[in-house]
Structure 1
Amino acid sequence: MTQEDKLNFQDDDDFFAPEDNANEQQLDAWEMLIVDDEEDVHQVTQFALSNYVFQGKRLAMINAYSAEEAKTRLQQHPDIAIIILDVVMETNDAGLKLVEYIRDALRNRFVRIILRTGQPGYAPEQEVILKYDINDYQNKTELSKTKFFTVVTAGLRSYSDMITIESYRLHLEERITERTAELVKLNQDKNEFLGIAAHDLRNPLSAIQGYAEEIIEYLDEMPQEEVIELTQKIALSSRQMSELLTNLLDVNAIESGKTYLSLQEHDTGCAAKYKTKAPG
């Protein structure tokens, strides 16, 4: 990098927070990975963004001097928000292969990748933008401090928005999972309840059937008193079955929201006294 490039990278100080003001806040940090094989590039980048603050958070800069070293840094820091990436390092396409590694091997779609090259002939802008999943393309010789500020800010804003959306998505999936489990449990309870209800309904229904068949078979030789007794039993079993059906319908109405329970206070003491009071 020439002295002229360094000077281009060090103008427009008004865009960055003063050191004193930044130190007054307890700030989290955006992790930014700088991948370049030139030491000067790392130093100039750190100088240019030394007082940078976005959304109340400063930058924590992580350095890598090759694509291979960058892979290690990415494994050590899975929450890197933005990568400033050179193209030509240990090979002429080392940076481009790192992009493929990040997107395909790591399956990281969130980190913002800014390609910054001093040799655009090895990576023509239009070809690279179309072929590789990068978020910006910058020429080192044209990247002033003001432009670098804009590029980094746009990248961090995009990253922040994507993380927020992902957080909402995960929360929604969690709620859907919880709700699904609740519905499964309710369905199990309903099936258990219906099984119990069916059993309870079968008893009076069997009794009615038995009494009716007995009357049909022995009516001609059965005393009238016995007929009356059996018909009374049929009536009793019918009432029991009717009450069970009414209860089932009430439960269904409550679950469907068509009926609401109204809780009221009652003095049970009076009823108890009346029940236990000896006849006078």
Structure 2
Amino acid sequence: MPHHTHQTNQFAPLGLFQLSPAAADLVLLGDLTGRYAAGSYTRLASDGRTVSLRADRQGAADHGHRITAAIACHVARAGGTADQLTQLLLHPEHEGGRHARSIALRSGEARALNYIHRVWNSAAAVVSSTRVPGSRHEAYEVLAALRDRIETTPWRGERGRTALRVLRAHLNFAETAGGPLHHASERQTAEEAGISRTTLRAVYELVLKPRGWLRRLRVGHGREGSTWYLNQGIASGHGAPASPSRFRTTQYPPQPGT
């Protein structure tokens, strides 16, 4: 019996829908490759330049939340429910639910259920208003085109160079998420870009959002990162976003004037 077929069948006793192989692996085995760990275990030091290690508990909580959010998105895309997500995460043999179960052990089941429903509401809201690229290959094509556009755009002055670092950080998060739609907190992004949060906010408001590179679809709370959409930016020398056909299949069609 093929490996993934065996895994998917393990959901049958719980009455759950069939998940993709990648989603099943994440639920059953956790983040074996470290794909969701980027930036979780480091922080920007007080000098604003160097990166230092974060306390294990903080890093593990951040990493665990990113895994939980990813599973919630998989469940939402597959047409699941909050109850089915809860069953997946609280099942004692599912490594992907370790973070939710640790909250239950540490703070009680009610706190864990509240957390799961908060993550579910965020995932469901995003998934309901987005379109996923037709294939993984298509998503990678979109991100490759975005990287090419980012790297070939002139970034003048110190502010421009800082904006480029921030965009590269978001691109890394988008590649981890598998498409332009991704989650990232201010702290994660500032650390990934090697800048302070104050500088990050200035770059968001003065450069990246006005010029169409980034849209914040949902503001995060606490350790839960904001939901972002990485776009192709405004064409140099023109007043409107460029719109090559390859971008029409991205996860979230940008709306005019936002």
Alignment TM-score, normalising by the size of structure 1? 0.22
* Bigger relative contact order, structure 1 or 2 (CA pairs below 8 A, ≥6 apart): 2
Structure with more of its chain in helix, by fraction: 1
Query: TM-score normalised to the size of structure 2?
Result: 0.24
Which structure has the greater CA radius of gyration? Answer: 1
